[in-house]
Amino acid sequence: MIEFTKLQHKKVLVLGLAKSGVAAAELLHQLGAFVTVNDSKPFDENPQAQMLLQKGITVICGRHPEDLLDEGFELIVKNPGIPYSNQIIADAINRGLPVITEVELAYLISEAPIIGITGTNGKTTTTTLIFEMLQNSKKQPLIAGNIGTVACGVAAEAKKENIIVTELSSFQLMGTVEFKPHIAILTNLFDAHLDYHGTFEEYAEAKFNITKNQDEQDWFIYNADQEFVAKFAERSKAKKIPFSSSGRTEEGISADEETIYWQGKPYLSRANIALPGKHNLENILAALATCILFDCDKASVEEVLKTFTGVRHRTQFVREWNGRKIYNDSKATNCLATKVALNAFKEPIVLIAGGLDRGHSFEDLRDSMQNVRAVVAYGQTGERFIEFAKSCGIEITVLAQNVEDAVKQAAPISNSGDVILLSPACASWDQYKSFEVRGDLFIDAANQL
């Protein structure tokens, strides 16, 4: 951690705890700031607040006092999930107080270069791939952000020889001012989180914060196959690396059906890449470009690509059973994610889907159902999904009780050479606490076949 004194003796409010709030409060206290933490959870039910109080940090719990900002704070560090419509945040902005997220603190204190990865889809896979490739090349990476430890906590421990690989959400990036990663990656942009941002344009601007402070000493890696993203990239002052999975290009990194190219020249064969799907090829290209810029050993990078089969619950290869390949895509809690998963396979698919009924249509999946040979549906949307499958011309449909039962039902109706894919297109909360719980139960059931 660099010696950072700008916050010494400054009054700082940390709004909202959870992991990011605790890490920010502890770091600010260490930097000599006068820290006050405000959290809605009552103090006697809030062990994190109790711990911070013992360290000498002022704690206000169980309520958000209307006069809270009258304390004379000079900076607000908010939990990323707190919207800007929140009364305290809105009041702070009206008063001209800077409002940041802990990612900004991470940048201000970090000795290590930062790689920032954002986008609507593919962040976690790209982040994990970069981390594993750097690690296999002995580059001493540290992983942070949504996927790992809170970024400012990692930055506080990082040394110059480390590289911080950070997954970043639009919520986090919206709260940045000086944040400037050495390498920034934008995987793609689709409509998302509009309940938080209001419009797609505001959402996109938040994502673009990842490169807004970059200069010619930095790199911006972006999806050239998305016209909107490519247009956005023109605003970046960084050196640009476009990636494309639509065929060989002379600039950046690209791929055709057989080969990955770096600046138009063959770099490696796709034959030994374990991770399936066009969307994952895009993630691989972004990760490879990053590791080439960091001069990673090519053989070490290829070794990762041969063995990496996906992030848990994201088109994760589980096992092969009697000639069938079984994949867990429990993270697919909406139609867009399931559509991406369906398009990743050329083999016939036995699709397991269903879950919480939010009343949403499945029509967005229709064009991607052509390769689905059978459907096993469960949960609140089970019957609706089967009706949809039949309307797509799928003759083999089964209604199951839950995801574990769905695995048992899928096995006998599948054929050798099929893919058995859990990609629910629905949230899990009708039967399971989280998509992780759902996915773990699916894996257990698959391994019991």
CA dihedral (284, 285, 288, 293) in degrees, to 10, reads -150
Q: Count the neighbouring beta carbons within 10 Å of the beta carbon of residue 45.
A: 10
**DSSP state at residue 102:** H
148 is in an annotated binding site: no
CB 102 within 8 A of CB 20: yes
| Helical segments of 61-177, H only | 87-94, 102-109, 123-136, 151-157, 170-174
d(CA 55, CA 67): 25
125 is in an annotated binding site: yes
Half-sphere exposure of 244 (CA within 13 A, CB side): 19
Strands of 114-118's sheet in order across? 141-145, 163-167, 114-118, 183-186, 219-223, 239-244, 253-255, 259-262, 265-269
**298 assigned binding-site residue:** no
CA angle 101, 121, 196 (to 5 degrees): 45
CB 217 within 8 A of CB 237: no
Amino acid identity of residue 166, one-letter, is T
| Residue 267, SS3 per DSSP | strand
Pairing assessment for the beta strands 34-39 and 58-61 based on DSSP bridges: parallel
Cβ–Cβ under 8 Å, residues 19 and 45: no
Burial 180-201 (b: 16+ CB within 10 A, else e): bbbbbbbbbbeebeeebbeeee
280 is in an annotated binding site: no
Residue 107, number of CB atoms within 10 A of its CB: 21
Residues 337, 331: Cα–Cα separation, whole Å: 8
CA 257, CA 199: separation in Å to the nearest integer?
36
Note whether 6 and 38 are within 8 A (CB): no
Task: Establish whether 333 is an annotated binding residue.
Answer: no
Q: What angle do CA 34, 5, 82 make, to 5 degrees?
A: 50
415 is known to lie in a ligand binding site: no
Judge whether 307 is annotated as a binding position.
no
Please give the single-letter amino acid code of residue 81.
Answer: G
Which residues are annotated binding-site positions? 119-125
Which residues are annotated binding-site positions for ATP? 119-125
